[in-house]
Chains A and B, each alone.
Chain A
Amino acid sequence: MNILGRTALLGLGAGLMLGLGAAAVSHDAAAQGWEPKKPVEFIIMAGIGGGADKMARLMQTIIAKNKLSSKPFTPINKPGGSGAESLVYLKEKTGDNHVIMVTLNSFYTTPLRQPDLGIDIMTFTPIGRMAEDTFLLWVHADSTIMNVNDFVKAVKAKGSDWVMAGTGKGQEDQLLTSFLNSGYGLDMKYVPYKGGGRVAKELAGKNADSTVNNPSEQLGFWEAGKTRPLAAFTAQRLEVFKDVPTFRELGKDYVYYMQRSVVGAPGMSKEAEAFYRGVFARVYATDEWQAYMAKKSLLGGFLTGAALKRYWTGERAVHETILRDIGEIK
């Protein structure tokens, strides 16, 4: 009966599509053409409580609240090896229509740094880029450093005793630190911590001299007057930090974002791909998601399909260059 009902619905959907014309096609196909038959595994490339994890759980909540899927999305954290574990898992699930994953920039860097894994990210199914996270340079509010000039002077005076706290080695924070070290002729010491929240705390607790946190990680301390942003690694000034210049304004072309994208297992069926695209396009359009993006200074429009793959190609090339420059790969 269930199958009969679904077939009838499919027929109805097809009829409607023909009648309503091309504009409505993609949306209706997504809503009615294919639906998950069991709970969807929503793999997270990072650990519980991190930025990617919070975002995945927000998406899960939005999907459930707005009834965007008849079956639940179940978040599963597979943070091992900077995302290597989840990339390998997704590859093993080739052809599976019920496994999707939320990614970070380790989506590019981990396969580059560990070619043995045999991961080609272009084989993954592009579902949707939900946002691009931004980065700023932060110091403690008690310091006398008010701008990047002061910062460069202070770091030079302290030499290699200047402590820049960041996330794990080879991850986003270290790439940005290497920009600063080479661009301004600095020799900051990089100390890796587990997770951006911990990094933010080390600065607020004066155990580090500077960080390159995402706004979402420093927001609480910044609002309480404990930390100070000096400049943003963005193309334009951020809405929340209107008085903070970009590095581009200061003459250094440091523009760097962290993608927050959803990808599917390789070889997913066209119908399933269309379903997930529909779901995440609607998640992107919800008030909850838009409010979250504004609050956390997230940028970037919704990208999917070939456009998303083009974006990956560009970003992967950028990361390959950076990793080579800092000697992480040959």
Chain B
Amino acid sequence: MEILNLLLDGFAIAFEPLNLVVIVLGCAVGLFVGAMPGLGSVNGVAIMLPMTFLVPPTSAIIFLAALYYGAMYGGAISSIMLGIPGASTAVATVFDGRPLAMKGMADKALVAAATASFVGGTISVVLFTLFAPPLAEVALRFGSPEIFALMIMAFATFIGLGGDDIAKTIFSICIGLVMSAVGLDIISGQPRLIFLDLPGFFHGINFLVLAIGIYGIGEILWTLETTKGEVTMSKATVSFRRVIVALKDLRHNVKTMVMGSFLGYFVGILPAAGATPGSLMAYGMAKMIAKEPETYGKGNIDGVVAPEAANNAASTGAMLPMLTLGIPGSPTTAILLGGMVIWGLEPGPLLFVEHKDFVWGLIASLYAANVFALLINLAFIPLFLWVLKMPFTILAPIIFVLCVVGGYAPTQSLHDVWLMLIFGVVGYLMRKLDYPMAPAVLAIVLGPLAEPAMRQSLIISNGSFAIFFTRTIDGVPVSGMIMGIAIALFLLPVVKTLRRKSRPAS
């Protein structure tokens, strides 16, 4: 009951005129930033941070949180429309969103993405409202062995992602892992794999550079070759009726939405993970439990719904460790954290006690931001669809320019632009040779999380892998349990294959 009172007080704060204005503004700016390839919520929040001292701290964080949220919605737009991930969190949305757009079902995909984002956002805010303090404690106790176990589980869900050719999938994962190892190794303190001694490799390979290269440049090359420039996109029309039909059809995807929301939220609350791994894991999981996994990657609405629900849920989840522990769960919340310090608010366990107005005002504004982001997004869908009506000869150069901007923006170095172009050619060749590319993207995201977690665990255990099974938190073998699930997931495709082989024989 006390929570309800606090939440109502929070709504009173969120619905103050100034705060309502900043929520709408934040959602709109976020949507734009999210939709621009290369610019994600990290850049948006960082750019807007110095402007927020014009308003009181509570309004400032509400604005930035709304922007953060809006960007999660916006990221899906360019993933679906152009096939370039608009933000790192929307990479998984490309896998099925792009094929849907090619089939003339872009409106359906956009509606599904917006709705799933709304469901993910709402479920996670409710979870946040009800269980913030105990979940913060869980996040706090999660150590390196548990994080490594979780990463293994994520890889397990992706073994089946590349289709039936498991060998090619594993090869693709390995390529991604090697890429993710480039740069400074914090454990040994030495730089690794600095190709040709180029200083640009010191900061490692930004996975967005890989993703934009493969999906943006690679896609253009592929389309040019397969269609010889004759391509016309299937015309997508939009009408109010079609949107309603699309919304009604989504009832078949409710299960995936809810699954993605919960998974995304729990991955999001773990420090250092964030929304990108959350959305990739949700995609892998959705495919794993699907009745017809072979339709994934060819335009399955569930493949859009799962990552979109998860990335919004994870973005809320990532605020939990930031507010309660002072530990950012994602790069964006790290900047939000810096903002709070500037406004004189000390994040940490006492924030919920000493600054109730601030915390509950923020939580209530997240509910409001969800509603506004959904409405703004749905209202703009006709505009987005208009983009698809452009002939490919005009669209391709636009996509190319956006790719170059997107490769340059995060680190502002030309080195990354060249790298992106190379990845584009490599991606095109991999596609020609029928290598799955999603596992490589997954590996470059999860590699930098999994590798240090494993090595930290092994330093603690003096090199014994038993730590992943024997370690307990308050008597519960958390990491062992997660490892058990991961091993079961690894074996699943093997069992399936054996069954398929034994059936004709019998």
Task: From known contacts A81-B203, A82-B189, A220-B348, infer whether A76 and B412 are also in contact, taking CB-CB under 8 Å.
Answer: yes
Q: Judge whether B189 and A170 touch: CB under 8 Å.
A: yes
* A60 in complex: contacting residue of B50, B140, B186, CB < 8 Å: B50
Q: Which of the 9-residue segments B276-284, B329-337, B367-375, B422-430 touches chain A?
A: B329-337
- Chain B interface (Cβ < 8 Å from any Cβ of A): 42, 46, 49-50, 53, 140-144, 183-184, 186-189, 191, 199-204, 271-272, 321, 325-328, 331, 333-335, 337-339, 341-342, 344, 346-351, 411-412, 452, 456, 459-460
Question: In the complex, which residues of chain B have a beta carbon less than 8 angstroms from the beta carbon of A223?
Answer: 346, 348-350
Q: Judge whether A169 and B183 touch: CB under 8 Å.
A: no
Q: Give Cα A281 to B199, complex, Å.
A: 33
Question: In the complex, which residues of chain A have a beta carbon less than 8 angstroms from the beta carbon of B204?
Answer: 80
Answer whether residue A204 sits at the interface, using C-beta atoms and an 8 A cutoff: yes
Q: Judge whether B456 and A192 touch: CB under 8 Å.
A: yes
CB distance from A293 to the nearest CB of B (A): 13
Answer whether residue A79 sits at the interface, using C-beta atoms and an 8 A cutoff: yes
Q: Judge whether A81 and B202 touch: CB under 8 Å.
A: yes
User: Which A-B residue pairs are the 3 nearest by beta carbons?
Assistant: A220-B348, A49-B334, A80-B203
Q: A residues 202-219 with Cβ under 8 Å of B?
A: 202, 204-207, 219
Q: Judge whether A57 and B188 touch: CB under 8 Å.
A: no
CB distance from B190 to the nearest CB of A (A): 8
* A221 in complex: contacting residue of B141, B186, B348, B460, CB < 8 Å: B348
Q: Judge whether B141 and A205 touch: CB under 8 Å.
A: yes
Q: Judge whether B335 and A48 touch: CB under 8 Å.
A: yes
Q: Judge whether A58 and B199 touch: CB under 8 Å.
A: no
What are 25 pairs between A and B in contact, CB < 8 Å?
A48-B331, A49-B333, A57-B335, A58-B342, A65-B53, A80-B184, A81-B199, A85-B200, A189-B459, A192-B186, A198-B272, A200-B327, A201-B271, A202-B143, A204-B325, A207-B144, A219-B326, A220-B347, A220-B348, A220-B349, A220-B350, A220-B351, A221-B348, A223-B346, A223-B348
Q: Judge whether B202 and A226 touch: CB under 8 Å.
A: no
Q: Give Cα A66 to B456, complex, Å.
A: 44
CB distance from B121 to the nearest CB of A (A): 23
Q: Judge whether A201 and B325 touch: CB under 8 Å.
A: yes
Chain A 285-325 near chain B by CB (<8 Å), digits 1 or 0: 00010011000000000000000000000000000000000
Question: In the complex, which residues of chain A have a beta carbon less than 8 angstroms from the beta carbon of B334?
Answer: 48-50, 53
Question: In the complex, which residues of chain B have a beta carbon less than 8 angstroms from the beta carbon of A201?
Answer: 140, 271, 321, 325, 327
Question: In the complex, which residues of chain A have a beta carbon less than 8 angstroms from the beta carbon of B143?
Answer: 202, 205, 207
Give the number of residue pairs across the A-B interface with Cβ within 8 Å.
Answer: 150
Q: Judge whether A61 and B342 touch: CB under 8 Å.
A: yes
Question: In the complex, which residues of chain B have a beta carbon less than 8 angstroms from the beta carbon of A288?
Answer: 342
Query: Can you name the residue of chain A whose Cβ is closest to the Cβ of B191?
Result: A81
Q: A residues 173-210 with Cβ under 8 Å of B?
A: 189, 191-194, 197-198, 200-202, 204-207
Q: Judge whether A205 and B50 touch: CB under 8 Å.
A: no
Give the interface size bracket for A toward B: 35 or more
CB distance from A187 to the nearest CB of B (A): 13
CB distance from B339 to the nearest CB of A (A): 8
Q: Judge whether A85 and B199 touch: CB under 8 Å.
A: yes
Question: In the complex, which residues of chain A have a beta carbon less than 8 angstroms from the beta carbon of B335?
Answer: 48-49, 57
Question: In the complex, which residues of chain B have a beta carbon less than 8 angstroms from the beta carbon of A60?
Answer: 50
Q: A residues 47-93 with Cβ under 8 Å of B?
A: 48-50, 53-54, 57-58, 60-61, 64-65, 72, 75-76, 78-82, 84-85, 88-89
* A224 in complex: contacting residue of B50, B328, B349, CB < 8 Å: B349
Q: Judge whether B199 and A88 touch: CB under 8 Å.
A: yes
Query: Can you name the residue of chain B whose Cβ is closest to the Cβ of A205?
Result: B140
Task: From known contacts A48-B331, A61-B53, infer whether A84 and B346 are also in contact, taking CB-CB under 8 Å.
Answer: no
* A84 in complex: contacting residue of B202, B348, B459, CB < 8 Å: B202
Q: Give Cα A202 to B191, complex, Å.
A: 25
Q: Judge whether B199 and A220 touch: CB under 8 Å.
A: no
Question: In the complex, which residues of chain A have a beta carbon less than 8 angstroms from the beta carbon of B321?
Answer: 201
CB distance from B110 to the nearest CB of A (A): 30
Answer whether residue A168 sits at the interface, using C-beta atoms and an 8 A cutoff: yes
Q: Give Cα A223 to B346, complex, Å.
A: 10
CB distance from B414 to the nearest CB of A (A): 12
Answer whether residue A163 sits at the interface, using C-beta atoms and an 8 A cutoff: yes
Task: From known contacts A75-B46, A85-B203, infer whether A194 and B341 are also in contact, taking CB-CB under 8 Å.
Answer: no
Q: Give Cα A82 to B189, complex, Å.
A: 8
Q: Give Cα A126 to B220, complex, Å.
A: 48
Answer whether residue A171 sits at the interface, using C-beta atoms and an 8 A cutoff: yes
